[in-house]
Amino acid sequence: MYDIVIIGGGVCGAAIAMYLSKYELNCCVLEKENDIAAGTTKANSGIIHAGYDPEPDTLMARLNVRGNELTEELCANLGIPFRKVGSMVIAFNSKDEEHLRNLYERGIANGVRGMELLDKEELLRREPNLNPEVTGALYAPSAGVVNPWRLCISMAETAAENGVEFYLDSQVVGIEKIPLGFVVTTVDGKKYETKYIINAAGLYADMVADLVGARDFEIFPSKGQYYLLDKTSAWLVNSVIFQCPTEKGKGVLVAPTAEGNIIVGPNAEKGNSRDDVSTTREGLEFVAEQANRTTLKIDYRENIRSFAGLRANSDKPDFIIGESALCRHFINVAGIKSPGLSSATAIGEYLIEILSDCGLIMYEKHDWRYAKPIVCFAELSNEEKAEICKKNPKYGNIICRCNTVTEGEILEALESHIKPRTLDGIKRRTGSVMGRCQGGFCGEKIHGIICKYYGIKPEEVLWDRQTSYIVAERVGEQK
């Protein structure tokens, strides 16, 4: 019997799993997709907000500010980039400036440190490529950017390193209450007995709550579309640039990414679909129109990928975190909208408190450790490059030429605890396929490495989700 089953392998599920792995507990994570970090976690802005946006005295305010501190420290320990680039909310008129002052006050109330109100001259000195019509900005130095899926995967790997089990392709289809807990049934017919359930099912959290008759909230997905620009556009902005909300929209940002690209977006489209991540001409045109207020210097020919992601908004104003009022030992971590990524680490930490309050007794482990990060060859010095190639010649075979990712790194990813079986799984762990060729060159090579590693046929290798095969059939064979 498990102590805890976590439903959902997104950034929240992974953070919770990592925090729980510090204790002598029997835990597992059930993920619907064929890899973790496959839902909201894989398509968002990647911003770790400073925390001036949420209303004071909300969970969002508290967990955002705490999460901001934790994420920076954690990224250093996990060996993944956290770029503390700071954020600017820019103003164009006196109404906007009033909004900035309100945000500043809110930030103070929420415990955000180091904020400054900048005048036009100082703003343009720091961000010379902005629209010259700006009149000022709220600067928050603690905001940063991360790669959301690397944060998720690194935390999950650390959880797995310390004994948490991960089951992929394991959509939960039934939850039965039993005297001492629950029996969770997955789509493949497997049963998991557990004392506690943590519902971190993101866009599907309300449906999972429904399985135990505890659906007292609803998820309303909201789609956002983005452009991701080539690293050659990195000169555009130094920090995350937000605009003040207007009647036309809120939140189109222009920001550097953890890898050094520029991200532009998102819009916000209400919809009922939980899996519609298609982009539209109208949506992308709207984003460009809004972003052109921030800076007129974006060259959209530098776009390497447009994508859409879904926010797990709910009918509640705040995050829904805590034991369900309708079901004992069923703990919701739901409606984790923005600033969800920023808060994820703090949510993990907070869950320890919640479980303890629920009566779970936890003993800390003595031999807990972080999972070893995958080498990043591109960032090594010449001496280190020479050294690692000597130890393992596979690091001398560059597979992804856009981001200089080697076969050594891809083999490391394949040897992870939570094994990637798809091209996108390799992408999310190594940064290959993420460059300007978007897999045009390296995709075929990685396809070959996956075939060889798993001993499967080329037709069996998937791009990402089920049935997303890469090649259809072998030619020239007798049929």
Partner 1 sequence: MTKHDIVIIGAGPAGLAAAIAAYNAGVKDIVIIERDKEAGGILNQCIHNGFGLHRFGEELTGPEYAAKYIDMLNNTDIKLLLGTMVVSIDGKIVSMVSEADGFCQIEAKAIILAMGCRERNRGPIFVPGGRGRGVFTAGAAQRYLNINGYLVGKRVVILGSGDIGLIMARRMTLEGAKVLAVAEIMPFTNGLARNVAQCLEDYDIPLYLSHTVTNVIGKNRLEGIVISEVDENRKPIPGTEKRFECDTLLLSVGLVPENEITRSAGIEIDPRTNGAIVGEDMQTGESGIFACGNVLHVHDLVDYVSAESERAGINAAKYVLSGCVGSVGNATYIQNGTDVSYTVPQRIEIENIEKSVDIFFRVRRKIDSCRINVVSEGEVIASFKREFVAPGEMQKITLPRLLLDKALGDITVSVAEIAEE
Question: What is residue 151's three-state secondary structure?
Answer: helix
Between the alpha carbon of residue 232 and those of residues 23, 153, 175, 402, the distances in Å are 45, 27, 50, 12
| Angstrom distance (rounded) from CA 105 to CA 128 | 27
**10 Å Cβ neighbour count for 29?**
29
Does 113 participate in binding partner 1 (rule CB under 8 A)? no
8 Å CB contact between 121 and 137? no
Nearer to partner 1, 45 or 199 (CB): 45
- The helix/strand/coil state of 310 is strand
The whole-angstrom separation of Cα 12 and Cα 402 is 31
What is the closest distance, in whole angstroms, from the C-beta atom of residue 433 to partner 1 in the complex? 11
Q: Closest by alpha carbon to 418, among 37, 146, 6, 46?
A: 37
Comparison of 127 and 230: residue with beta carbon closer to partner 1: 230
Residue from 173, 390, 415, 452 in contact with partner 1 (CB under 8 A): 390
**CA–CA distance, 338 with 53 (Å, rounded to integer):** 10
Q: Does 397 bind partner 1 (CB under 8 A)?
A: yes
Q: Is 404 in the site for partner 1 (CB under 8 A)?
A: yes
Residue 307 binds partner 1, judged by CB under 8 A: yes
- Residues across the chain: 479
The stretch among 92-100, 238-246, 296-304, 343-351 that binds partner 1 (CB under 8 A) is 296-304
**Closest distance between partner 1 and the C-beta of residue 45, in Å?**
18
Taking the least distance from each CB to partner 1, the nearer of 179 and 476 is: 476
Q: At what angle do helices 59-78 and 94-110 cross, to 10 degrees?
A: 70
Q: Please give the C-alpha separations between residue 35 and each of 135, 167, 291, 342, 349, in angstroms, as whole numbers.
A: 45, 9, 33, 22, 24
* Among residues 31, 302, 409, 412, the one that binds partner 1 under rule CB under 8 A: 302
- 251 makes contact with partner 1 (CB under 8 A): no
99 included as an active-site residue: no
Q: How far is the CB of 281 from partner 1 (least distance, A)?
A: 5
C-beta of 232 vs 246, nearer to partner 1: 232
Q: Is residue 306 near partner 1 by the rule CB under 8 A?
A: yes
Among 74, 175, 228, 244, binds partner 1 (CB under 8 A): 228
Q: Does 394 bind partner 1 (CB under 8 A)?
A: yes
- Residue 347 three-state SS: helix
Shortest distance (Å) from residue 209 CB to partner 1: 25
CB of 188 to partner 1, least distance (A): 19
Q: Is 206 in the site for partner 1 (CB under 8 A)?
A: no
The residue within the footprint of partner 1, chosen from 270, 366, 475, 478 (CB under 8 A), is 475
- CB burial of 10-22 (b: ≥16 within 10 Å; e: otherwise) equals bbbbbbbbbbbbb
Under rule CB under 8 A, how many of the chain's residues touch partner 1? 60
Buried b (16+ CB within 10 A) or exposed e, 200-222: bbbbbbbebbebbebbebebbbb
**Is 132 a residue that touches partner 1 (CB under 8 A)?**
no
471 contacts partner 1 (rule: CB under 8 A): yes
Catalytic residue from among 49, 329, 417, 447? 49
Distance from C-alpha of 18 to C-alpha of 14, rounded to nearest angstrom: 6
74: Cβ–Cβ under 8 A, 6 or more apart, which residues?
151, 155, 345
Residue 427: which of 155, 153, 224, 223 has the closest Cα?
153
* Residue 246 amino acid letter: T
- From the list 77-85, 101-109, 269-277, 357-365, the region that binds partner 1 by CB under 8 A is 269-277
Q: Closest Cα partner for 268 from 64, 45, 478, 18?
A: 45
Question: For residue 339, is the peptide bond before it cis, meaning its omega torsion is within 30 degrees of 0?
Answer: yes
Q: Using the rule CB under 8 A, is 191 a contact of partner 1? A: no
Position 279 contacts partner 1 (CB under 8 A): yes
Residue 473 contacts partner 1 per CB under 8 A: yes
Smaller CB distance to partner 1: residue 156 or 287?
287
Of 120, 220, 438, 453, which lies in the binding site for partner 1, with binding defined by CB under 8 A?
438
> According to CB under 8 A, which one of 169, 193, 218, 464 is a site residue for partner 1?
464
Which residues make up the interface to partner 1 (CB under 8 A)?
228, 232, 275-281, 283-284, 300-307, 382, 385-386, 389-390, 393-398, 401-402, 404, 406-407, 436-441, 443-444, 448, 458-459, 463-476
Catalytic residues: 49
